[in-house]
Chains A and B, each alone.
Chain A
Amino acid sequence: MFRRSLGALGAATLVARPARSHAPATTRRPGERVLRVVAPFEFAGPDPARSGHVFARMGVGEMLLGADPEGRPVPMLAECWSTSPNGLLHRFVLRPGVRFHDGSPLTAEAAAESLRHAHAAASPFSRVPVAAIEATSDAVLIRLSRPFAPLPAVLANYASMILAPAAYDEAGRVRAVIGTGPFRVERFSPPLQLDVERFEGWWGPRPAIGRASYLVVSQGEARATMAESGHADLTMALQPVTVARLRRSPRLEVLTVPVPRTRILKLNAASPYFADQRVRQALSLAIDRQGIAAALVRNPAMAADQLFPPTLQDWHLPAPPPRRDLERARTLLAEAGWRPGQDGILVDAGRRRFACRCITYINWPELPPIATALQAQFRELGIDMSVAIGNSSDIPRGHRDGTLEMALMARNYALVPDPLATLLQDFQPGGGDWGAMGWSDPALDAALHALSAPAGDPTAARRQAAGILREALPVIPIAWSELGVAVSRDLAGVTVDPFETSYRLHDIAWLR
């Protein structure tokens, strides 16, 4: 009796404050199966510049243009487009009969207004030299102040999403995601969950999937477990270490596609350590790329001695797999004036020790282990590299205040499906926050400038630019990336977009 009463009292006091859940009740239609997407990318608020990646991937919002598997622009909300001979006027003719999720029609003025918002936000489009955005009866006109050939690719970026006029408040802030895509928002709970349902008024063929949800699970291991245990139907961004295990699961198919995201080592070429190209080349020769790719990326074919993987044919230079050559590296360092000191660490003529700091961040979980692998490999050359793991913003900040020496990062050259847009930013004459620092090359500038202009065959200029970057090494490539996706065998029609612009849910159907 005594035991029971005290137990009951304890329980009663502990539940004295009833729990009140604010989780809105879901209105599940009976029998409607929800396609569950699990991914690591959180989202913040309804602004496309911040969360557009999720809206675009889940088929809620659409842009004027999309991208094909090679990154070439394809029609989306714009049916066709043209550029004036001088490259300054771009005309995008809208697809007729398109409606937003609130029932309002897509007009040229609505599209132009969305693009004006995108241009004012922190978006790739804001870096385009736009003079004016105008609307005619059926088309959007974009006037540029100088030619910018990758404009169509920039318009395929999620931040250039077209939303209904009702999506914006009086101050121009996005209050709701009212797009044109095959799915519309059913429940929006940032930063972790988005539920969507089929939009019956979509301009394309009716999707077979009726409902889908996007759930953020940041731990790679937890994502893998959700896929394995049937709690996720599409699991994105698999960690390399979990791929082999998931391949053995009978309920899953694992797809991997190479994506243009490259792990690179950014060097401050204005510092006394890395100003000499021979030192940068020596560092590159000291890296055991095959070892890093095999052990940490779990695919030796990802070893990278140039920025772009073979899938970007025009930008990739045919070459044998990269090899480590410590002897040649030591020779180059000696030629640059670095000799081993008493403790084995290199010193230059002014008795300066080769001791530098490399910063990296944890958004990509493989970066810290790669940094420590580099630390050990550079140590064999007599370079004392310390590793600091912090926030990704430490890199642009260190670039701006000049304190950065080295940074290990994963740079996405596909945020805009044409890599030129990112290269123009990263390797412009003054350098770029996520690219060169204290380094520039007039030949590269000329090649990139030529690519921005509307005329001619771009292949030669692309190869030339890739060749300069590979030789001069303002940043040292280490490993390319693959996107691993675990797909439930209950699904048919799943394809993976290497530019990660869409999960193509509208092409997917349930097998059972």
Chain B
Amino acid sequence: MGRRSLGRFLRPVLMRLTQALLVALIVGALGFALMAALPGDQAFRLAAARYGPDMGDAAAAALVRQELGLDRPWAVQFLDWVGRLMRLDLGHSLVTGEPVLEELTMQLGYTLALAGVALPLSALLGLPLGLLAGLRPGGPMDRITLGLSVLLRAIPAYALGLFLVTVFSIHLGWLPPAGFEGWREFVLPALTLALGLAALSARVARDSVAVVAASPFMAFARWKGLPERAVVLRHGLRNAAIPVVALLGLQLIGLVEGLIIVESLFSWPGIGHALVHAIFARDVPVVQGTALALGLIFVLVNAFVDLACALADPRRARAAT
């Protein structure tokens, strides 16, 4: 690989690194500002989250305020966070008292495990259907998948999850409606996430395949006598894959949005569940840490998507230089 082409790949990586730094600062500042802007008194909220409603009274709130120095000015508390972030210290949860990094690592593990099942599952469900639909645009398969996609995108994850629980847990009794111990507990939350994602990927794959299949370069490849295998591998696959790979970055937005709801619904101890609880409790370090992790994952995935797209379509990278 020449110097120029190395630069071609390094440039976006450096750009993403700068972006990651900016994301960290902006996410931290936003998390802080939004939590400060929310109604309710932080010490009272934390006392209720720590000790439960019956013990969460003014005396408990006073203890919390004193222990955590919550009456310090917001600016001081924020600078404190920035200072600790520089030392790669995300602080301690104000509710549990445990290090945020420790809690995040565990929660992220559960979330990635769930996402790691949901994403391939969505690909298994969505891409073959999209392919079938794309090969015969306007055909019955196309219409059926269009209807299904619209329906699944329109149903909120919460309702979809409840529907699946009703069918598979209550009526059929096959799968547990909550828990996170074994593979059976994975099925319903992963399926809830995957169906929403598959609805989108099926349509993108369908359009992409339809365009590529009907393109002049595919027809030309066949005319010039290339065997079908070479036509597909050299010309079809690469071209059809670009929008699908780019979709991965977009899927992540849907995934995060879905995770927050699905984890709460299925009592899954992941990052989404933790984020909701931390917001209710005004647990600022956990909100900041979680948002930071999500933001950095977002940057990372987009960097991978960029690289993959550049590999699949060198014209893009050339255009960028």
Check if A9 is an interface residue, CB within 8 A of chain B. yes
Residue pair A15, B131 in contact (C-beta under 8 Å):
no
Complex: A491 Cα to B119 Cα, angstroms: 40
Residue pair A396, B96 in contact (C-beta under 8 Å):
no
Cβ–Cβ < 8 Å partners of A192 in chain B: 180, 267, 269
Complex: A49 Cα to B232 Cα, angstroms: 65
Residue among B57, B105, B240 making CB contact with A22, cutoff 8 Å: B105
Given known A-B contacts A3-B131, A361-B53, A229 and B245 have beta carbons under 8 A apart: no
Residue pair A215, B124 in contact (C-beta under 8 Å):
no
Check if B199 is an interface residue, CB within 8 A of chain A. no
> Smallest CB–CB gap between B35 and chain A, Å?
14
Residue among A159, A222, A434 making CB contact with B177, cutoff 8 Å: A222
Besides the known contacts A2-B228, A193-B180, A397-B61, 5 further A-B residue pairs in the complex with CB atoms under 8 A apart:
A17-B116, A22-B106, A22-B110, A226-B176, A415-B55
Cβ–Cβ < 8 Å partners of A221 in chain B: 165
- CB interface residues, B 86-121, toward A, < 8 Å: 93, 95-98, 105-106, 108-110, 112-117, 119-120
Cβ–Cβ < 8 Å partners of A123 in chain B: 55
Cβ–Cβ < 8 Å partners of B109 in chain A: 20-23
Complex: A512 Cα to B236 Cα, angstroms: 61
Check if A217 is an interface residue, CB within 8 A of chain B. yes
Residue pair A392, B48 in contact (C-beta under 8 Å):
yes
Residue pair A23, B110 in contact (C-beta under 8 Å):
yes
User: How many A residues face the partner with a CB closer than 8 A?
Assistant: 76
User: How many B residues face the partner with a CB closer than 8 A?
Assistant: 81
For the complex of A and B, 6 pairs with smallest distance between CB atoms = A19-B116, A22-B109, A45-B96, A122-B60, A392-B53, A393-B44
Residue pair A15, B40 in contact (C-beta under 8 Å):
no
Cβ–Cβ < 8 Å partners of B205 in chain A: 6, 10
Check if B128 is an interface residue, CB within 8 A of chain A. yes
Residue pair A217, B59 in contact (C-beta under 8 Å):
no
Main secondary structure of the interface of B (DSSP, over half): helix
**In the complex, per-residue mask of A459-475: 1 if CB is within 8 Å of any chain B CB, else 0:** 00000000000000000
Cβ–Cβ < 8 Å partners of A228 in chain B: 170, 173
Interface, chain A (partner B; CB < 8 A): 1-3, 5-7, 9-11, 13-23, 26, 38, 41-42, 44-45, 47, 49-50, 53, 121-124, 126-127, 159, 173, 189-193, 215-219, 221-223, 225-226, 228-231, 361, 363, 390-394, 396-397, 399-400, 409-412, 415, 432-434
Cβ–Cβ < 8 Å partners of B213 in chain A: 2
Cβ–Cβ < 8 Å partners of B181 in chain A: 26
Given known A-B contacts A193-B269, A231-B179, A397-B41, A6 and B131 have beta carbons under 8 A apart: yes
Complex: A392 Cα to B52 Cα, angstroms: 9
Residue pair A393, B61 in contact (C-beta under 8 Å):
yes
**In the complex, per-residue mask of B215-257: 1 if CB is within 8 Å of any chain A CB, else 0:** 0000000000000110011001100110011001000000000
Check if B265 is an interface residue, CB within 8 A of chain A. yes
A189 and chain B: residue at smallest CB distance: B269
Residue pair B105, A217 in contact (C-beta under 8 Å):
no
Cβ–Cβ < 8 Å partners of B54 in chain A: 411-412, 415, 434
Residue pair A396, B178 in contact (C-beta under 8 Å):
no
A126 and chain B: residue at smallest CB distance: B59
Cβ–Cβ < 8 Å partners of A11 in chain B: 120, 123-124, 127
Residue pair A14, B97 in contact (C-beta under 8 Å):
no
Residue pair A226, B177 in contact (C-beta under 8 Å):
yes
Residue pair A15, B119 in contact (C-beta under 8 Å):
yes
